[in-house]
Every structure is written in C-alpha cells, then in structure tokens.
A and B are shown apart, each in its own frame.
Chain A
Amino acid sequence: MLTALSRLLVILMTVNSFILRIGRFVAWVSLALMVLVILLQVVFRYIFNNALPWPDEAARFLMLWMTGLIAPSAYRWGGFVAIDMVPMALPKRVGLALMLVLLLLSAAVLFVAIGFGWNHTMGFGGNFDSSSLKIPLDLIGLESIKVKLRYMYMSLLVGVTLLLVINVELVIRTILELLDPEISLPGDDQVIVAGAD
C-alpha cells in the first residue's frame, strides 16, 4: 500500500512538474506581452493621440491566463498565505492530520469550483463575443473572428483544475508522511519563493 502510494506520487509529481513548467513558461511570456501591450497603448494614446480599442482587454486576457497557469506552481511551493502556527505547534503526527483535513477542505472548494467554472465557461455567458478582441484574419484576406468570452473565462477554470491536481499530490504526500514519518519523499527540482508584500 505504502509503495503503491509512493509510486503513484512519483508519477503524479513527474506529470505535474512537466505541466507546471509549461504553465510557468506561458505565464512569464504573458507577463512580458502584457507590458508590451500596455506600452503600445501608452504610445498610441499620448504620442499618436489615437487610443487603440483592444490593448486593455488583451492585457486583462493575458493577466488572467498568467494567474491561472502559474498560481498552481505557487500553491505547490507553499506560496499560498496561511497562518500555519497551529499545525506547526502541534506534535508532528497531529499536525499532519490537521494538514490533511485542511487539504481535503481545500480540495472540496476546488472540486465545487470546477463545477461552477465549467458552467461559467461553457454556459450561456461564455458564448458572447469579446467587445474588442478578435483574431485578425482580415489581414490575410479572410473574415476576422471575434474571440468568445469563453476563452477568457477558461483561464480560471484551468487554474482551479490545476490547483486541484496539485492538491491531490499534496494529499498523497501528507498521507504518506502520516503512515510513515521517516519516509523520504521526492522533492521538486526547482522552487522559487516570491511574495508581494
């Protein structure tokens, strides 16, 4: 049972590490694009006196995807702020049991959120066109296609889904530690800690 769980954890972590690395890559590129898009808007508004319609929405689009794709990495690395005095102060076993309860509670939140996220994304509202974002196919002689709001909504759905996957990983980790306190678990290859305060 223990070995089966550890093996499952290793597989899950390998898959997650791969997905998260892609997520981080897309996220930092999105951040760079956000800067470019806003600067473009500044140039057009103040130098050419001719504000473009799309940069504000495009930048928000990028920011939402940045968040959805990189927040799971932060969650895995303990970047979600919590007051962890109580779990730390308890005896190790009890602390781990409490951690497990907290993780299951978080999992419940994420699970419910995925349901609502699915309705939000696939439902009626997602069908509307974005007010300013379109794929400019007219540049190559075709008709341009408006971007559906769905593709913006999807960012949070993807975010909570990835968070749940990470949550499962953390749950297995905690169960393993509970069953065998001396166990040595695989670590992540790289950890970046960042705070905003």
Chain B
Amino acid sequence: MLVWFLPVFLVALMIGLPVFFALLVSPGMLLWLNGQERDMALLYRNVYNGMDSFPLMALPFFMLAGELMNRGGITTRLVEFSQALMGHLRGGLAHVNILSSILFAGLSGSAVADTSALGSTLIPAMEKNGYTRKFAAAVTAASSVIGPIIPPSGIMIIYAYVMGESVAALFLAGIVPGIMVGVGLMLVVRLMADKYDLPKAERIVSKNQELTQLEHWVSFVLLRLNFAGVLLGVYAGIGAAVQYSSGADIAVNNWILMAVFLVIAHFVLMAIRPRVSADFRVVCKKAVAPLQAPIIILGGILVGVFTPTEASAVAVAYALLISFFVLRSMKLSDLPSIFTKSALGSSTVLLLVGAAVAFKTVVSLSHAPEQLAGFILNLSDDPLILLFLINLLLFIVGMFLDAGPAIIILGPILGPIFVELGVHPVHFAIIMSVNLTVGLATPPMGLVLFVASSVSGEKVETISKAILPFLAVEVLVIFLITYVPAISMTVPRLTGFVQ
C-alpha cells in the first residue's frame, strides 16, 4: 500500500499542488488509509524536528549576507572591478558579466539574487554598448547559475542537511566546478565574439573616483595581509611536503614568517604599482573590502575556526560593517526590508526542508527506495551508464522544478542508490547540485529565466532561445564533472574534509 505514495506524490506535484503540501499529503493520505494514525503524528513531529536545526540556520544568514552586500552597493564595485580586468576584450561586457557572476557567487548563494543584482546594472550597460537585449539577458541568466555552485550555496546547505553530509566538504567541492562553468561560458562568448563581432568596452567606466581615507587604509592592510597569508599557505604546504619526504623538521615560528611575508608582500605590491594607471588602482582597491567576505567565510571554515552557521553569521556582520562604515552606502532605515525579504525567502525553504524530513521517514518506512533501486539497477549495472541516465532525469526535473525543492525530493531517493554503487557521496552531491542549478536556467520553467525577463523586459521565450549555446556548454561541464570525479573531489581531499 505504502508503495503508492510515490506515484500519488508525483501526480499531486504535476497538477500544481505546492511542493510543501505534496510532500505531506501523499504519505499522510496513505498512512491514514492504512489506519496508521500514530505515524501521521510522527509525520507532523518530523516536520518540526526537521526545521529545528542549527546547521540549517546558515541558510537565512547567507541569504541575508548576500542581500546586504547587494543593497550596500557592492555589486557596482564588483562589476567595475571585473570590467577593469576584462572589459577591453572583444565581447568585453559579456566577459565582465560572467566574471562578476563568479565573484558575486562568493558572496551570495542564490542564482536569483545574482540575476537580479547583476542584471539590473549590466543588461542596460550591455545594451548601450551595442549588444542585443536578449543576448545580455541570456548571458546574465546563464552565468548566474554559478551563484549556488561556488560557495556559499543555499542548495548545498539544504543537501548537506537532508543527506547528512558535511557542508564544508560540499562547499569546497563546488569551487572548481563553479569556475569551470564560468570559463566554459567565457569560451562561448569568445567564439561568438568572432562570429558576431561583439564590441569591446572601456576598461575604466568612471574616471577619477575618490577613495575615502578609511577605505584606502582598509584595502591597504587587507591586500597585504591576504598576500602574505597566501605566501604563508604556500610555504606551509611546501614545508609539509619536504618534511614528509625527508623527515627534516624545518618549522619556523609562524608569526615571524608572517612578518617576513608581509614585508615581501608590501614590496611586491609597490613594484606593481607604477605599472598600472591610478584609475585602475582605485577600482581594484574598491573591490578589496567586498571580496574579503568570501575569504573570511571559506578561510574560517577551512581553518576550522567557524562552523558554516557561524561563518554565515560572521558574513552578515562583515557585510553590515563594511556597508555602514567603510562604504557608507546603507541607512538604518534600509534594514527592515532587507531582513524581511531574507526571512520571507528562507521561511518557505525551511518549511520545505521540514516536510522533506517527514517525507523521508515515510520513504524509509515503505519499500519504495529498494524497488526503485531494483528498477534502476535493472536498467544497467554500469555506474557510468546509470550516471548518464540520472543526469538526464535530473535535467528534465530541473526544467520544471526549482533546484532547492528538487534536491529535497530526489536527494533522499537517489543518493543512497549511487553511494551503494560506489559513487562518493560528495561527488554525487555536486553532480546533483550542478545539474539542478543549471536547471534553473532551462526553459520552460527556469526560475532564473523569469527573473532575467522581469529585469530586462525581454520575453522569456526570446531569452530561452538566446541562452541555448550557453546551456550547451553547461551540459558539457555537467558531464565532465560526472565522469571526472577529481574535478570536484580534489579540493576537499587536499584540505582533509573528505577522506
């Protein structure tokens, strides 16, 4: 009897019942028909227990941090910085759009936020520069899917929680695939630039910008600290390797080393200084404080200072700090609407997660996973072919459903089957996240397409056509990630978050 709940669930979903209710109504109804009233109470309890979670709190916090950074004027700085780096290429602003998405992805974990933030500044700018509006909207939508792949990432927090994986491991595993998507998109732009003769742009948009004294010093200190930190990291890595191979103990006091590296960093930066224009320097300095946020988040998690939840709270504090004191671009009266929006967005996801946990208990009570696994394994016992098929399935699901709900529904059902087949859980998580995130930009029901349409005023159908070449590359990246586990697994392995 209980086996019927999956078909019932699918029908309920297809005819348009909100996912939250569909997750509850199908198991609930069958339990009721079975006379298992007691288990229905369990269903309710598990919704509550599913939401009552500390790791899950990272979700509203990262949403809040992204929202704060966006309203605080950080988007414009990132765009100007990207333009200073890539604007002079052919198809310059398209490249800038993609690079900004990569940078923005380090601050926010949401493709929707990415599209609306970058779209509202870049789509008009690209139009003025001579691009068609549909192309501008398509690049924005296609590149925004990098947002939830590069950490922090809302959907990875959800996946990690529902599936009992480590958030940190998933975050680290997402870095390289995210950058790969970005590079792939840039290659498409490069090819199109030849074919359609896409325009170049100025590297510096607004010349002679002023930098406040405080911001000057903040970027001065942060730049040197980060540079020295990187040197220290490289040194520690080499040191560990040498020690491992020769057994010689070459440990030097880290503080002394840091001081030495700080001096080196200072002189290197001073040597670069005369080679670039003053305007370029100002644009770069203005990007330093915003770009410190991903370093704090990831660095904190990597070093083990913060849990992801704490890192997300620190990110909120950092965003508030720089918006109010360094950039001075936010007023206290802006805060209620920003907080309300983040609370609103995360509340629906939290309810969904609760419902998913309840759903999961019934999934395990029924024998549906075994039967489904049997069915899938009957198709083929070659993991490579099964992974291909599963990617196909995920892609189709992604066309119709947002990434978060899709992960909540499919993760508990598909995850265990592939782990059984020998696919690493973290690797499978990345396959699933990247595939379903790309699904956010696929017609007919891509969430990001709708946002891009409302930001640009272009029709969804038109953007859907213009986005196809970019989607082709993203599909290619999905398959690369699927069949080359090293792409996602290397970073978490090297940092020791995955054995």
Which A residues are within 8 Å of any B CB, using their own CB?
24, 27-32, 34-35, 38-39, 41-42, 46, 56, 59-60, 63-64, 66-67, 70-71, 73-75, 79-87, 98-99, 102, 105-106, 108-109, 112-113, 116-117, 119-120, 152-153, 156, 159, 192, 194-197
Contacts and interface: CB of A to CB of B under 8 A. Distances in A.
Nearest to B112: A195
17 contacts: A24-B340, A35-B64, A42-B310, A64-B51, A67-B51, A81-B20, A81-B348, A82-B16, A83-B13, A86-B14, A119-B41, A120-B45, A120-B48, A153-B48, A195-B402, A197-B402, A197-B437
A172 to B, nearest CB: 18
B344 A82 contact: no
Given A67-B347, A71-B347, A196-B110, A39 B317 contact: yes
A116 B342 contact: no
Interface in B206-252: none
What DSSP secondary structure best describes chain B's contact surface?
helix
B53 A81 contact: no
B344 A192 contact: yes
Nearest to A110: B21
B44 A105 contact: no
Nearest to B320: A35
Given A42-B313, A42-B314, A59-B54, A196 B346 contact: yes
A74 B347 contact: yes
Contacts of B310: 38, 41-42
A22 B451 CA distance: 29
A179 B57 CA distance: 44
Contact of A67 (B14, B155, B317, B350): B350
Contacts of A32: 335, 339
Given A31-B343, A197-B440, A86 B16 contact: yes
Interface in B374-433: 400-405
B18 A82 contact: yes
B352 A81 contact: yes
Contacts of A112: 28, 40
A196 B63 contact: yes
B402 A81 contact: yes
Interface in B38-77: 40-41, 43-45, 47-48, 51-54, 56-57, 59-61, 63-64
A31 B44 contact: no
B152 to A, nearest CB: 12
A104 to B, nearest CB: 11
Contacts of B342: 31, 194
Given A63-B350, A73-B344, A120-B44, A31 B339 contact: yes
Given A31-B60, A83-B445, A117-B44, A66 B343 contact: yes
Contact of B57 (A38, A86, A106, A159): A38
A197 B110 contact: yes
A82 B48 contact: no
Contacts of B347: 27, 66-67, 70-71, 74
A86 B14 CA distance: 7
B44 A194 contact: no
B64 A31 contact: yes
Given A66-B347, A67-B350, A79-B348, A197 B447 contact: yes
Contact of A34 (B13, B48, B60, B340): B60
A38 B440 contact: no
Contacts of B403: 197
Given A35-B64, A83-B16, A120-B44, 4 more contacts: A24-B343, A35-B313, A60-B57, A63-B51
B302 interface: no
